[in-house]
Amino acid sequence: MKKAFIGVYGCQMNVSDAERMEGQLHSIGYVRTGSMEDADLILLNTCCVRETAEDKVYGKIGEIKHIREKNPGLIFGIAGCMAQKEGENLIRRAPHIDFVLGTNKVQELVNVVREIEAERGHVVDVSFSETELPEGLPVERGGRLSAWVPIMYGCNNFCTYCIVPYVRGRERSRLPEDVVKEVGEAVAKGYKEVTLLGQNVNSYGKDHGRADFADLLGMVDAVPGIERVRFMTSHPKDLSDKVIAAIRDGEHICEHIHLPVQYGTNRVLKAMNRVYTVEGYRDLVGRIREALPDVSLTTDLIVGFPGETEEDFSALLDFLREIRYDSAYTFLYSKRSGTPAATMENQVAEDCKKRRLRELMEVQNGISREINEGLLGKSLEVMVEGASKNDAGIWTGRTRTNKIVLWEHGDEQPGDFVQVRITQPQTWVLKGEVCSRIPR
């Protein structure tokens, strides 16, 4: 058996692409190894959303040069966003790379590897077709209970700090029947939960017009045997009342919406090209909470965007206190060359950004803790995942609202559904005790 090491950087879309790459490698006789030294093939599925992500990959490429010297038969490839962005430059800079495969070429992996196996040489394929989608590929999924299912690729939005539209192209939606088929296949293999993936799932179907995102949610909700349906990411400008109603009416659609606001003043939102306003976002949150009173809302926030003033930052903190997210992913703005924001004037000093980030996290952590404390004594539905990493006697699972719950293990098994009464709510996790099994 030949062995393949696959390193994945970046977002869930990259994880999902890597599962399709692994499926293809498996189909031509490669099995997964966790050790680069043992591997016959090393593939890095890369991210370029921040310069630090690229620096990490360049570090790894250097490390692999030494492995290649000891193992000249090793095949080494780079895929993903950095491959798309850099193309041939990667091989010029590091000739021990055998192939470079762009974001739209996941389905070419088998052909490329066979070509290199037959006749050593460099292959670079970063060509882009706006109509080609990687359908019908074998998938080797990482998890046993939860499956990532991409529903669309690319992004049309061009937020001024983001490189994604340049490396993943315009939005292309899969056909609804292909998505539903993949969900059905995952359920048949024992998966209980799917997460529908896209850079902006709310604009699903605008290109083919066969179904919109609300329609798709309804179709996936109706797949026999599915227990939970999640989705990410939602752009506030496209989240419609029809989608909110689909979540409310769906039996298996989880009441969790990741709704990146990115900032809390109209001036900065405009500079980011986010298209919505604070008032519009506030109104949307009101409609969501009216329809889904138990919803959990999470968000992404960027501090230190060019031109951010103390007044902006203070308004952002006020906005957080008003909206009260369950949790937030907080980022320091970092320049991404090739994006409009990288050349904007009034870049914020690093120490100022760091100070603001600390303050932001402090405010958000306080809110997360208060919201979780409101769950004390409540009984929540949890899908059992298994033993926690640090203590085999403590098990973990998630609520429908995507909160992590910990409890002392009894006789429940992964994939069971249990009611857990919350006894110790904390900022990041809820501790509790199982009070009953939920029959399925």
Residues that bind ligand SF4 (CB under 6 A): 155, 157-159, 162, 164-165, 199-200, 235
- What minimum distance in Å lies between the beta carbon of 342 and ligand SF4? 14
- What minimum distance in Å lies between the beta carbon of 82 and ligand SF4? 16
Backbone angles phi, psi at 360, to 5 degrees: -60, -45
Strand, helix or coil for residue 423 = strand
- In the complex with ligand SF4, the residue whose CB is nearer, 272 or 420, is 272
The helix, strand and coil proportions of the chain, stated in percent and rounded to the nearest 5, come to 40, 25, 40
Distances from the Cα of 339 to the Cα of 85, 208, 272, 378, 386, angstroms? 12, 28, 11, 46, 42
Distances from the Cα of 151 to the Cα of 59, 204, 216, angstroms? 32, 7, 9
- What minimum distance in Å lies between the beta carbon of 304 and ligand SF4? 16
- In the complex with ligand SF4, the residue whose CB is nearer, 263 or 313, is 263
86 touches 44 (CB < 8 A): no
Distances from the Cα of 315 to the Cα of 241, 306, 319, angstroms? 27, 16, 6
- What minimum distance in Å lies between the beta carbon of 396 and ligand SF4? 29
- In the complex with ligand SF4, the residue whose CB is nearer, 5 or 281, is 281
- In the complex with ligand SF4, the residue whose CB is nearer, 264 or 397, is 264
- What minimum distance in Å lies between the beta carbon of 275 and ligand SF4? 9
63 touches 5 (CB < 8 A): no
- In the complex with ligand SF4, the residue whose CB is nearer, 49 or 297, is 49
Q: Distance between CA 47 and CA 54 in Å, rounded?
A: 7
- What minimum distance in Å lies between the beta carbon of 387 and ligand SF4? 35
In sequence order, the β-bridge partners of residue 301 are 262, 330
Which positions ≥6 away from 414 have C-beta within 8 Å?
144, 145, 384, 385, 386
Strands annotated E in 209-272? 228-232, 256-258
- What minimum distance in Å lies between the beta carbon of 414 and ligand SF4? 33
Q: Distance between CA 195 and CA 253 in Å, rounded?
A: 10
- What minimum distance in Å lies between the beta carbon of 101 and ligand SF4? 21
Helices (H), 292-424: 310-323, 350-373
